[in-house]
């Protein structure tokens, strides 16, 4: 049985570790640069997202029955949010620099890798 879900879990973990570090940087070092950069907003909006991501990552590591599907849906939703909400709304409000664009591109790119990995996982499960 393929183990692409494990690789997807590691990739998602890397993406969200990068995101967590970046958002903490924005909430502390860059606080008040935009309306999106504060500890309060990080706690209200960011923490729940990271909790959901942690649950999805744990499910992928466990390779539970629906984990690949849940990982796929979660990653696609996060890609759509990144492209259609985060970039045009939040990113531009933050007066982005090199660090901002780097994090955004790497994070979104890693989500595309996760989508590919869970699709391979699902394809492999159909063959067995």
Q: Report the pLDDT averaged over residues 95-114.
A: 96
Question: What is the Cα 76 distance to its own chain's centre?
Answer: 10
pLDDT in tens, 68-90: 999 999 999 999 999 999 999 99
Cα gap 60→54, rounded to integer Å: 10
What is the structure's pLDDT at 124? 86
pLDDT band at 123 (very low <50, low <70, confident <90, very high): very high
Whether residue 34 has pLDDT greater than 90: yes
pLDDT at residue 128 greater than cutoff 70: no
The phi-psi region of residue 54 (left if phi > 0; otherwise alpha if psi is between -120 and 50; otherwise beta) is alpha
Per domain, the residue ranges of the chain are: 4-127
């Amino acid at each position: 049985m393929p183990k692409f879900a494990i690789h997807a879990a590691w990739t998602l973990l890397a993406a969200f570790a990068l995101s967590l570090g970046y958002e903490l940087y924005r909430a502390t070092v860059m606080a008040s640069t935009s309306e999106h950069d504060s500890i309060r907003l990080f706690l209200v909006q960011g923490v729940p997202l990271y909790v959901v991501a942690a649950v999805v990552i744990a499910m992928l590591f466990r390779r539970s029955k629906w984990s690949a599907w849940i990982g796929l849906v979660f990653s696609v939703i996060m890609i759509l949010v990144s492209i259609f909400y985060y970039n045009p709304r939040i990113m531009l409000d933050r007066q982005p620099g090199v660090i901002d664009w780097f994090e955004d591109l790497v994070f979104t790119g890693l989500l595309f890798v996760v989508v590919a990995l869970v699709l391979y996982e699902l394809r492999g499960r159909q063959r067995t």
